[in-house]
Amino acid sequence: MATFVLVGGAWIGAWAWKDVATRLRAAGHVAYPLSLTGLGERVHLAGPEVDLETHIADVVNLIAYERLDDVVLCGHSYAGVVIPGVADRIPERLNQVVYVDSAPLEDGQAFVDLFPPDALRALREAVDADGDGWKLPFPGTAHLADAASTAGLDPEALALLEAKATPQPWATYTRPLRLSRQGEPTYRRAVVACDDVRSMVAAGIPPIVAMTQAPWRYEEIATGHWPMLSAPEELAATLDRIGRG
């Protein structure tokens, strides 16, 4: 059986993985859902100094202190920036790296680089106006679909997001990813493509299309950008298959 470390995207914490983790454990796996610094139950640790390197250290330290090996490291959305950094620091601890409706960034890129100018300008305005200049507020479920697919999120899931989502420390978006290792990784790589990545594949975006081909393992789920909430049974079953290799 596999050992999963589950890392959520912006605004969410370990709580969002509850149903998926329960199903993975029922299938015989070990699952560690993680709240990054400043998110979820660790919201009290948020501050202007929390950045991408903080979040990479969160995951590295969990794996180190729990003495985990052969880890299947899963990163959703924004965490697609975090997990390449983790893999760069401790590749020997990893069996697979799985991008859940996300994709890896390259050395020197920051998450803000993925946004078109108008969208980035709106984010910066929200940070300045409503986030004290250092945090990105949760936009609210009424505006969630402006940036990503909300397909499959029922009223209960939307209410859960509204109740538990926390602001995202803005420096996690602006600090560039720094990688030191070159060449092909020693661990396997997989992508679980939901509506957002599937649409990029359909649009023929080269780096995303490359993830549909060997040596990548490519899986699809017909649901929105938050599959742990909109399709937890399907996501758990997909991760179970990936974990079994």
Residues involved in catalysis: 77
Q: What stretches of 82-187 adopt beta strand conformation (E)?
A: 94-100, 135-136, 168-169
Cα 66 to its chain centre, rounded Å, is 21
Q: For residue 223, what is the DSSP state? A: S
Give the span between the Cα atoms of 78 and 177, in whole angstroms. 12
Size (the chain), residues: 245
Tokens 């020997």, residue located: 92
Tell me the three state secondary structure of residue 6: strand
Which of 5, 82, 91 shows the shortest CA–CA distance to 37? 82
Q: Are 23 and 29 spatial neighbours (Cβ–Cβ below 8 Å)?
A: no
Q: Are 55 and 73 spatial neighbours (Cβ–Cβ below 8 Å)?
A: no
